[in-house]
Structure 1
Amino acid sequence: MTDASVVVRPEGPDVRITIGGEVDLENANDVEERLAAAIPNETNVVTLELAELQYIDSAGLRVLFALAARLEVLQIELRVDVPPGSHTRRVLQLSGFESLATLDA
């Protein structure tokens, strides 16, 4: 079984979420449920920290795209902190995720 960690840190009206480990077909639904539960509708900004994310496949990308779509409907800003040159950043760039959220360093 692959392991993914989801650590949620509320910061006033904002939420910072660190995702680490691996997000793939085996655990994507669990990660998606944890993300949904972590974000109240009153949130202003969600920041995803992906520096600790070692692997993400298409199921993991689906989770991130679904999260971005949900936040857009709720008018919650999404920010993504992902290291330049990392595998995760390259996957997000190739998938077109940058059209939904700014990738910060």
Structure 2
Amino acid sequence: MSTQLTLTPGRTADGSTLLTVAGEIDMSNSASLADAIEGAPAPLVVDLTDVEYLDSAGINVLFAHAERIELIAPPLLRPVLTVSGLARLVTVRPPRPDDGPVTP
């Protein structure tokens, strides 16, 4: 059974390409995340604010695209991103009020 994952493309207030991710990222749906990242123009802001779970399959997808992404991550995910080493390769910033998408 697949875990619920929502991927919504858009743009940030400053015009950057945005991928808003919500739900759980695991082995059952990490390919969908990879496809969404690969299909978006770089540089890409990946907003993980509403991600409730992130396993190694999801981390591997983010590592594979580290050179072209920036992450918005809530406090829940920051330790995972730090321990995995991903936070050393990509910019990881906390959610800000102006991070919401401007266009869907």
Larger helix fraction of residues: 1
The answer for the alignment partner of 2:93 in structure 1 is 104
Q: What TM-score do you get using the length of structure 1 for normalisation?
A: 0.77
* 1:82 aligns to 2:73 (yes or no): yes
Secondary structure of the structure 2 residue equivalent to 1:59: helix
**48, 52, 55: which is aligned to 1:54?**
52
* 1:66 aligns to 2:64 (yes or no): yes
**Aligned-residue offset at 1:29:** 1.0
> Alignment RMSD, CA only?
1.7
Quick one: distance in 2 between partners of 1:79 and 1:31? Answer: 15
Q: What TM-score do you get using the length of structure 2 for normalisation?
A: 0.78
**Aligned-residue offset at 1:13:** 6.1
Q: Which consecutive unaligned segments of at least 5 residues does structure 2 have?
A: 95-104
Secondary structure of the structure 1 residue equivalent to 2:49: coil
Higher RCO (C-alpha 8 Å, min separation 6)? 2
**Aligned-residue offset at 1:4:** 1.0
The answer for the alignment partner of 2:83 in structure 1 is 94
Quick one: distance in 2 between partners of 1:6 and 1:94? Answer: 25
